[in-house]
Structure 1
């Protein structure tokens, strides 16, 4: 399989903002075997996986294919049994936790907040890597929090306690927190879970805005391959703990992949202006 090509582009994007890909960070996994203490064999094995600098890469595949496991390892939340994860050539296992948190943000699937914490309080927690233990909140902290709240669209919820929010509202609050962390790399594990279609699209648009306007490198686990094909520059398709294919959506999203990986009979329109359009017909028997 060919490695995705990263093309530096200094021109302005569609909104007139400069493309900052030259200053973006790259995350690479090499010779990986990843497992859990309860598993006898590795859950994920791959020779090389790349989140190219300044691009959005979506990890897709059926349940149990290893997407979240791979993302956790690339965020240094799960140490690989073999291999290494490199952030701009530096092994993340050797980086101090605060230093890594200044460069890499992770939104996991499972999040819990103390009772009584407001949305604004939670978002301010995203600023912890940028402050000393006894340092007061700075003006730059406040600006980052306000920007994150605005991007996530939770301004009307800032004074609400997290315990009083719906599942979708909580998810948006957690997204605001990781945005406030203001990192070069953003890893999101199924961030559209619990969200209705309107808010799903809003989250994906926020991801695209961060990528295009600020050069943030994004790795995102998504169940909806159609949504992934629309918003991502690259797809990493996984099957049974291995990389099945990777590259631009127009190359990866094929009728063969949908049948072999997702067990779905479907037509793919590769000429759609918003990326490959998938028309599913039926589930293929196991």
Structure 2
């Protein structure tokens, strides 16, 4: 917070103290010693000003004086425009206001609106400008300008039938089309091959790309199935002999060997019929007591 200003009563009290101490002194305005004593007395009674504030105030005064000097010099270069006869001065921008030097304010006869230069004349909607002049009133320069503009417009908007008469294009034939198609296919294949080589170089090929590049990588091992079949063929007679030796001779149900197929040969059917004929079935009737 800024320091509180001294009240008028305090200032009057200090002034009275100074007057009391200097009362009766002779030659106040002539003797240097007396003047020095009075000056020291005033400094002892009155508070000393802050040196920083004094320096700041002095700096502001110097800047203000410098700015005023520059403004005075700049005013010489700024001149107001001459107002033509019949023109409202308010439609002309004040040059001093534009430079920030006008001190007249609203009393200035020139306009202080910066947008006044952008404002144009109002359009008269009640009159047609096309009726104001005809071709007979044009001069030579205007006629040449109109002819040149019409020529440019014609060059930019030429009819299409004129362009259609040009025969610079090559007629399309089946042979030419097939040649073009083969060329496009070759370019596409080259691009795909280059792309595939780049992906293979970076180890980023998909399964389809690997198959298209080298189908031999996906061929199954043909020897694996033949080896399995050969082992099965060698093991089949041994299994059959073991099943024949393990068959029971007594009256029991014959066990059918586990073979790939369920069909029985003639020998097996005869053995089964003989075993069934030896088997006796006893049926016990229920007694009368029960």
TM-score normalised over the length of structure 2: 0.13
Structure showing greater radius of gyration is 2
Structure showing the higher helix proportion among its residues: 2
Structure showing the higher strand proportion among its residues: 1
TM-score normalised over the length of structure 1: 0.14
